[in-house]
Amino acid sequence: SDHSLTYPISPADMDWAGLYPMYAKQETGEAGHADEKEQKQAKAKATSKDVEIADIGCGFGGLLFALAPKFPATLILGMEIRTSVTEYVEEKVRALRVQNASTNGYQNVSCIRANTMKFLPNFFQKSQLSKIFLCFPDPHFKQRKHKARIVSYTLNSEYAYVLRPGGVVYTITDVEDLHVWMREHFEKHPSFERVERGFEDGVGEDGEGMDECVRTMRVETEEGKKVERNKGSKFVACFRRLQDPAWP
């Protein structure tokens, strides 16, 4: 149940500095007007840069920890609904930051507990993200459960809102039916087009010519590793956020 979940009223209301303390905005101490206190509070929560990569339903964070050193200047956020799993990831972030203190490693990665099917735009501003990962989402096999899938026409509009034009949604699953479902829902959405080159399924299993993120999500997610061990199939599909059409 997610009754105990809380959501920020807006992205500015989130305590980003608490998640990425090394990127906390420094107090300038110059404001001298009536709303000084409010400004100071807002500043105390802000970071010098915004999250750009989101891993939705990040599970135990395998992908997050693989991406962090590959994108050292980018803030990466995992979002996970299960409390104990989120705590595990938070604990691992703390441990990795301590272990890598001399290089400031893993300061750019964090995790929060959230139901991403609700209020995603409360966390991110319009066009804030450059990449969204939907890795091995729960398949919800039964027809009457399809509404619980994290890809739908409505949710895709939310992903389109938070993703900048040119940004990419990465999907991977071992369930072919879900792969087809995700492809169909993104392909018919006017804000997305499928990206093929270097992103397509099974291209160069040796990694040759494959997008770096596709290669990473195939092998670094916990589910990806499980499928690998069981010699199962992995279905990849990626979608680019298109520019919004100009107003006539």
| Active site amino acids | 138
Closer to ligand SAM by CB, 66 or 242: give it.
Answer: 66
Instruction: Establish whether 80 is an annotated binding residue.
Output: yes
- The CA distances from residue 142 to 85, 118, 154, 179, in Å, are 25, 22, 20, 15
**CB-based contact 51:75 (threshold 8 Å):** yes
Checking DSSP bridges between strand 129-135 and strand 163-173, what pairing results, if any? Answer: parallel
Asked if 168 touches ligand SAM (CB under 6 A), the answer is no
* Calpha distance 6→88 (Å, rounded): 19
Is 207 strand, coil or helix?
coil
- Can you tell me which of 68, 186, 221, 241 binds ligand SAM, judged by CB under 6 A? 221
Q: What part of residues 142-161 is at the interface with ligand SAM (CB under 6 A)?
A: 150
Residue 31 — φ and ψ, nearest 5°? -65, 130
- The CA distances from residue 88 to 47, 85, 178, in Å, are 24, 5, 28
Instruction: Establish whether 212 is an annotated binding residue.
Output: no
Instruction: Establish whether 172 is an annotated binding residue.
Output: no
For helices 212-220 and 62-70, give the axis angle rounded to 10 degrees.
Answer: 150
Q: Which stretch in 10-18, 32-40, 69-77, 109-117 sits in contact with ligand SAM by CB under 6 A?
A: 109-117
Closer to ligand SAM by CB, 193 or 212: give it.
Answer: 212
Instruction: Establish whether 221 is an annotated binding residue.
Output: yes
Asked if 54 touches ligand SAM (CB under 6 A), the answer is no
Asked if 11 touches ligand SAM (CB under 6 A), the answer is no
- Can you tell me which of 14, 53, 54, 58 binds ligand SAM, judged by CB under 6 A? 58
The string of DSSP codes covering 16-79 is HHHHSGGGBPPP-----STTHHHHHHHHHH-BSS-EEEEEET-TT-HHHHHHHHHSTTSEEEEE
Asked if 223 touches ligand SAM (CB under 6 A), the answer is yes
- Can you tell me which of 14, 85, 132, 182 binds ligand SAM, judged by CB under 6 A? 85
Instruction: Establish whether 57 is an annotated binding residue.
Output: yes
Residues within the interface to ligand SAM (CB under 6 A): 57-59, 62, 79-82, 85, 114-117, 135-138, 150, 221-223
Which residues are known binding-site members for S-adenosyl-L-methionine?
Answer: 57, 80-81, 115-116, 135, 221-223
